[in-house]
Chains A and B, each alone.
Chain A
């Protein structure tokens, strides 16, 4: 009698696009051997809006609000990258006052991004409580954005050459108050998660990505730093005056999911440090540099990258000397970091795939653009 009925057959499982823990409309086709993952295949494009193509039919100033809609969790960083790119093309530099305010807002945005990552990642793993607390703190950051520029999520806070809005009354007080209370809130999250045995057991050794893997795949941001490479665009290629601030690049050794959690928690503390330093040194002066009303950069091409909360965010802008950019290419951190899913998920359990997707910290608006 043959035992053919005992042979295990490969099982194909569709995870998403309507799966709550894929953080959007990501579809992952899992090939399973029992509970183990043999291979994964990402299907992306459900949220494709053709942002890069839209850029070709808009003027430089008009396109700025669209970049906010790629990584809508950290819209301020997106806007900063784009504005820096066009400024480099125009050979102008933002005024000193604008630069400091830009640093403050992008670091606040980094905190907001990591907070929503922490809440949703913990929710995926099964810890519901941190989500409520992180959302509460994120709300304070969003209130500051709302008071400063009138929008909470898709802020459009920066303009080419500097800022559009003057600081509102009490801007520094609000941020100082947030920076005062936030580290103790971080301690609260840490007492909920860092020491928690379930949390540690669930994350330790899951989804290991070595430094070599990261470099092969072009993975940047907290994933790379968790693997032990101290690469941060803010330190390596300083922009917006980041070289004046004293902060550290948190790194870890093994590059598993727990390390990435540790790195991001440390990054939030470093962001608070940067904001506190920047608050004391907002210079007076104009908020926007002398930029022509009609922006018509000379023909040429430029690549500018900034350290977005998710990794290196690059803008490659080609100008042909007309009013519209000839080409705007975005190097989105989420898209490149997502490619590491295949390597991390191989041999993992299905439940760990959820943790791995969560730890990459993707936003599908940015993956698909």
Chain B
């Protein structure tokens, strides 16, 4: 028994675990009957189906006929930086306003690129902030704090 298709193996695991998790979580809700389904009924059934599908995906991954497939390298740096940028934006937007939040997002995310240059990024940030102000604040009149709310009050 050796895993040959790693992608199938891990997606099988993912589906089994998630399916069982939803089944377990559904236990706190009433099941009801087929004629009068409670809030736990449909999720329990779906969780079960998903777990079964997971097994059907996982098992052939060991088969001799299965091709050797590995999961390609995960680039943690770009993953982390891009999502960190989004998180920082979400944290700072209400307190510091769009201007600062967007500049932080752009600088952090741009750093993920293998050809990062600081000056270019600053220029890009200025351009994007001006464009966003024109398009979203003036043009579409979306409601979000642009400058730090503390300053404008």
Q: Do A and B bind each other?
A: no
- Residues on A close to B: CB < 8 A? none
